Amino acid sequence: MSTPFLWHNGHIKPWTEATVHVSTHALHYGSSVFEGERVYATPQGPAYFRLADHTRRLFESAKVYEIEIGYSEEAINAACLELIRVNRMKSAYVRPIVFRGAGGLGVLQKNGAPVDVAIMALDWGAYLGEAAERGADVCVSSWQRPAPNTVPSWAKAGGNYLNSQLIGLEARRGGYDEGIALGHNGLLSEGAGENVFVVKRGKLLTPPASAGILAGITRETVMMLAADLGIPVEERELPREALYSADEVFMTGTAAEITPVRSVDRKPVGAGKPGPITQTLRQAFFGLFDGRTDDRHGWLTPVHTA
Ligand code: PMP
């Protein structure tokens, strides 16, 4: 899984040399914020997808928890680019993480306690494996997303992923590829690590940003690609049964990209295979990386390996 080098507190280091102490605050209290980004192999060489947007969200997440990153957004962007060059990668999944370090075991650390910043680049294929092509079999989880006034869902924090693990573990135990959760109000929220879209009579529907979801960058990408393609999109509250009566369902995420859903709770979605609008959006999305879709929104940042 590892690559030769990672970036840690301002330096490129061998993967094995970036270690932390067992008293690290984030280990005890979930006090990390992180990102998941992708580098795609384009005909012009490796390029980050929406790098600046991911870095901005990392800083916004840190701000919610009052974690001082200690580097500028530009420095983090530059480090992300450098990491791909030193590892000589053509494509990658990149994980920047910022966390409260070893500075005492109290829930609140003293001002000036250490904050670690690291960036890892991994060689990762499709997150949900072959489900990305055939369509995923998903369930509606018995676990709910946290209510908005408990832990904030817009901040991409390590602690949020305890809930995701419960959703994912239950799904796997039931033989599903992934679980989708309802929010505190009983309405549709999101998957363990993906946003959810429903296609109904030619229109894309997705729960609003206030539905206890992470405001996904792939979610926004899909909404913009749909607008470019003339496919109507509406953010609106959706009940669970919207999944059962949908013509198509798909999930989006940096890792999951655009993954069609072929069944929910063992009920087939539409024709029980990836539907035409999902396929059109997948083509437009992956076309960004092989040049078939014009990068009109300036989403790609070349790594410049030469
Ligand atoms: N929701 C959750 C809970 C996630 O972990 C992710 C993956 N980061 C997403 C949605 C999708 O977000 P993005 O498209 O920005 O990767």
- Domain boundary among the residues 122, 141, 156 is at 122
Q: What is the pLDDT of residue 28?
A: 98
Confidence of residue 306 (pLDDT cuts 50, 70, 90): low
Q: What is the pLDDT of residue 61?
A: 98
* Range of lowest pLDDT (3-12, 118-127, 295-304): 118-127
Say if ligand 1 is within 6 A of residue 193 CB: yes
User: Tell me: the pLDDT tens digits for 294-305?
Assistant: 999 999 999 987
173: enclosing H helix or E strand = helix 161-173
CA distance 81 to 302: 8
Q: Which atom of ligand 1 is nearest to the CA of 164?
A: 3
Note whether 55 and 77 are within 8 A (CB): yes
Task: Say how many Å lie between the CA of residue 110 and the centre of ligand 1.
Answer: 31
- Does the residue 281 lie in any domain? yes
What's 18's domain CATH number? 3.30.470.10
Does one domain contain both 160 and 266?
yes
Q: What is the pLDDT of residue 153?
A: 97
- Domain boundary among the residues 122, 140, 158 is at 122
Distances (CA, A) of 254 to 54, 92, 95, 257, 288: 10, 11, 11, 5, 14
Predicted confidence (pLDDT) at residue 127 exceeds the cutoff of 80: no
Q: Which atom of ligand 1 is nearest to the CA of 153?
A: 3
- Mutation pick for ligand 1 pocket among 213, 254, 258, 281 (CB with most ligand atoms within 8 Å): 254
Mean pLDDT of 146-161: 96
Task: Say how many Å lie between the CA of residue 108 and the centre of ligand 1.
Answer: 28
- Does the residue 260 lie in any domain? yes
Instruction: Give 200-241 as a DSSP string.
Output: ETTEEEE--TTSS----HHHHHHHHHHHHHT--EEE----TH
- Domain range spanning residue 72? 5-122
Confidence of residue 38 (pLDDT cuts 50, 70, 90): very high
Q: What is the pLDDT of residue 125?
A: 77
Predicted confidence (pLDDT) at residue 195 exceeds the cutoff of 90: yes
- Does the residue 164 lie in any domain? yes
Task: Say how many Å lie between the CA of residue 96 and the centre of ligand 1.
Answer: 14
CA distance 169 to 202: 33
